[in-house]
Chains A and B, each alone.
Chain A
Amino acid sequence: MESSVALSLQDIITGLRVFTPELMLGGGVVLLLIIGLFTNDIHKISAVALLVLMAVAYAQYLRDIPLTSEISHELFSKMIVVSNFSSYMGFLLDLGGILTVLMSWPYFLHADKLKEGLEQRRRFVSEYYLLIVVIVLGGHLLISSVNLLMVFLSLELISLPSYALAGFLFNKKSSEGSFKYFLFGAVASAVMLYGFSLFYGQFGTLDFRRDDLFATVPWSPLLVVSVVFSMAGFLYKIAAVPMHPWAPDVYEAAPTPIVAFFSVVPKLAGLAILVRFVIVSPYDNGNPAVMHALALISILTITVGNFSALVQKNPKRMMAYSSIAQSGFLLVGLVALSASGLQFMIFYSTIYLLMNFLVFYYLQYFELRGFTTIASYQNAGSKYLWPSIFLLVGFISLTGLPPTGGFTAKLFIFSALWESYSNHAHRGDQILLWLFIFGLLNTVVSLFYYLRIPYFAFIKNWESTPKTNILTSSPVAYDSFIGRSSIGNLLGLILVIVLLLIFFAPGLLMGWINKINFVL
Chain B
Amino acid sequence: MQNLDHMLYLGAFLFAVGIAVIVVKRNAIMVLLGLELLLNASNVNLVVFNRIHAGRIDGQMFSLFVIIVAVCEAAVGLAIVLRVYQYYKTSVPDEVSELKD
Contact = CB atoms under 8 A, between A and B. Distances in A.
Contacts of A72: none
B24 interface: no
Instruction: Tell me what chain A mostly uses at the interface: helix, strand, loop, or mixed.
Output: helix
Which of A163, A200, A308 has the most B CB atoms < 10 Å from its CB?
A: A200
Contacts, number: 126
A179 B49 contact: no
Contact of A182 (B38, B65, B80, B98): B80
A59 interface: no
Contact of A172 (B53, B81, B88): B88
A334 to B, nearest CB: 26
Contacts of B49: 197, 200-201, 204
B34 to A, nearest CB: 8
A173 interface: yes
A27 to B, nearest CB: 21
Which of B52, B59, B73, B79 has the most A CB atoms < 10 Å from its CB?
A: B73
A193 B76 contact: no
A182 B62 contact: no
Contacts of B58: 149, 200, 205-206
B101 A190 contact: no
Interface stretch (A248-256, A265-273, A357-365, A471-479): A248-256
Contacts of A497: none
Given A160-B72, A180-B93, A187-B35, A206 B99 contact: no
A148 B46 CA distance: 12
B20 to A, nearest CB: 13
A190 B72 contact: no
Interface in A182-208: 182-183, 186-187, 190-191, 193-194, 196-198, 200-201, 204-206
Contacts of A201: 8, 45, 48-49, 52-53
B35 A190 contact: yes
Interface string B25-63: 000100110010011011101101100110000110110
B99 A187 contact: no
B45 A197 contact: yes
Contacts of A191: 38
Contacts of B38: 187, 190-191, 193-194
A205 B55 CA distance: 11
A72 to B, nearest CB: 22
Interface string A163-180: 110010001110111111
B76 A182 contact: yes
A152 interface: yes
Interface string B71-91: 011001101110110111000
B3 to A, nearest CB: 15
Contact of B46 (A175, A200, A253): A200
Contacts of B61: 149
Given A153-B65, A172-B88, A187-B38, A198 B45 contact: yes
Contact of B28 (A178, A179, A200): A179
B17 interface: no
Interface in A130-167: 148-149, 152-153, 156, 160, 163-164, 167
B65 A152 contact: yes
Contact of A175 (B35, B87, B93): B87
Given A187-B22, A201-B45, 20 more contacts: A152-B65, A152-B69, A153-B65, A156-B69, A172-B87, A176-B87, A176-B88, A182-B76, A186-B32, A193-B38, A193-B39, A196-B42, A197-B49, A197-B59, A200-B59, A200-B62, A201-B8, A206-B58, A248-B99, A253-B99
Interface of A: 148-149, 152-153, 156, 160, 163-164, 167, 171-173, 175-180, 182-183, 186-187, 190-191, 193-194, 196-198, 200-201, 204-206, 248-249, 252-253, 308, 311-312, 317
11 contacts: A164-B76, A164-B79, A175-B87, A178-B80, A183-B28, A186-B35, A187-B38, A193-B39, A197-B43, A204-B52, A206-B62
